[in-house]
Structure 1
């Protein structure tokens, strides 16, 4: 009589299916929060880009000794982010101060098209002090504190 060796190495089909199902369930829970995280990052990146465009216009105005305004369209902003400027454009004079004081506080709104998330860039003083608002309530507070 021959001895038969049982092959006990590897995983059974049932074990593999259980692992695949568990991974699928975990992925289903993680996907919505991951999508929200990605959208928040896109919004933050766009707000940073707008902030640096405003600061760049102020810096150029001082450097060139001319009146400058930030651009109304900004390159490299994700298409899922909407940037809304006020009707009157801000201008920086040759000293880097805000030339048209009546636009202060100057608020540029950014919002995500597929969520209710929003940020803003606010020029708060005639000297050009600028901050990024992290959400709608902070944007309102920055706009009203001037």
Structure 2
């Protein structure tokens, strides 16, 4: 049986090294690669930086708009939850219950309190704190001039509300007490009692932008709906 001869590569062999270099150079030539092609040119770097800047200019405002919408949506959910809690407590305990909203002038947080109307001072807490919502960058608005009363005849939402704190009270049946006319304002479509949360305008931080959400107590029986934007929350 013949012997199998295996020739090992000798790294110290000048002949083998020369052959390898020749092979590598041929491959480089065939692929168009030269030593001068390594790295990036200044022009290429500038083009890449310009493209990154364009993408950032497009995506960053969209991202902030998305974050603002999410924040307002969660804050509005917290407003609805507070109103529903007050109505539920009123029905369960057969007592009058009030939900109040205010903008804390020190912390700038929107605060809420749900309490027995005749039980004394309310306990305030930041709106949406239990679900991780920060409301200190949001505006609080309402169309109320007093407890369960729409302001004037045009029912326009004001920032901050003309009634401080803003109160909505449910009777022992979870309905709204009968109040003098106009109860829900004037016109063919009564506006309801509106609590609004909004992102401030970039031009004026005291004015609401178009990113706004609201909860509307629509009837004397205390039925509620949520809405967004204009004209629903105006």
**Residue in structure 2 matched with residue 114 of structure 1 by the alignment:** 201
- Cα RMSD, aligned residues only: 2.8
1:90 to 168, 187, 211: 168
Pairs within 5 Å for 1:1-146? 3=22, 5=25, 12=40, 15=44, 18-72=47-101, 73-74=111-112, 75=126, 76=129, 77-85=134-142, 86=144, 87-88=146-147, 89-102=167-180, 103-104=183-184, 105-115=192-202, 116-117=209-210, 118-139=212-233
After alignment, is 80-89 or 7-16 more displaced?
Answer: 7-16
How many residue pairs match? The answer is 140
User: How many angstroms apart in 2 are the aligned matches of 1:9 and 1:80?
Assistant: 52
The alpha carbon displacement at 1:92 in A equals 0.7
5+ residue gaps, structure 2: 1-17, 26-33, 102-110, 113-125, 148-166, 185-191, 203-208
Greater RCO (CA < 8 Å, at least 6 residues apart): 1
Q: In structure 2, what is the Cα distance between the partners aligned to 1:21 and 1:131?
A: 47
Classify the secondary structure of the residue corresponding to 1:137.
coil
TM norm structure 2:
0.51
Deviation at 1:8, TM superposition (A): 9.7
Cross-structure match for 1:144: none
What are the ranges of 5 or more consecutive residues in structure 1 without an aligned counterpart?
141-146
Which has a greater percent of strand? Answer: 2
Contact kept, 8 Å, 2:100 with 2:168, in 1: the verdict is no
Residues of 1 paired with 2:63 and 2:74: CA distance? 17
Which structure has the larger Rg over C-alpha atoms?
2
Q: Structure 2: how far apart are the matches of 1:27 and 1:18?
A: 14
